[in-house]
Amino acid sequence: MTIKQAIEQTREIKPNPYSDKHLKEWLSIADGQIFKYLQGFEDLTESFDGYDGDTDDETELLAEHPFDALYIDWLKSKIDMAMEEYERYNIDATLFNEGLNAYTRYIVQNRTPRQDYTIVWPRL
């Protein structure tokens, strides 16, 4: 999924007043978290510098299909929080965390850990 696709799909599901730049910055936070998980495995992303308003909309996000739906839940949760829709936030944040947990389980089960890296998993 690209940045553009994540933003467009989110806007279709949850219209909101936030700029693409703002949504990109929120996606940057999500991929920053995901990168922390990925950096301990071979053949995965070597670096992550974040996204800002100048980042190309066609940039691929880190979590691949079918796990990329977590980006929609992430953006929805950030919009909910910003709009003070706390019940919706709790639901969307839970969906995001479930998607992230599924993705990290997939990585652990299907990728080889780097020999020079110690993986410390957060408590969930």
Least confident of 49-63, 79-93, 103-117: 103-117
Least confident of 53-67, 70-84, 105-119: 105-119
More confident residue, 85 or 43: 85
Per-residue pLDDT tens for 26-67? Answer: 999 999 999 888 877 766 667 888 999 899 999 999 999 999
In this prediction, residues 99-118 reach a mean pLDDT of: 83
Averaged confidence pLDDT in the chain:
90
Please compute Rg for the chain using Cα positions: 15
* pLDDT in the model for residue 96: 97
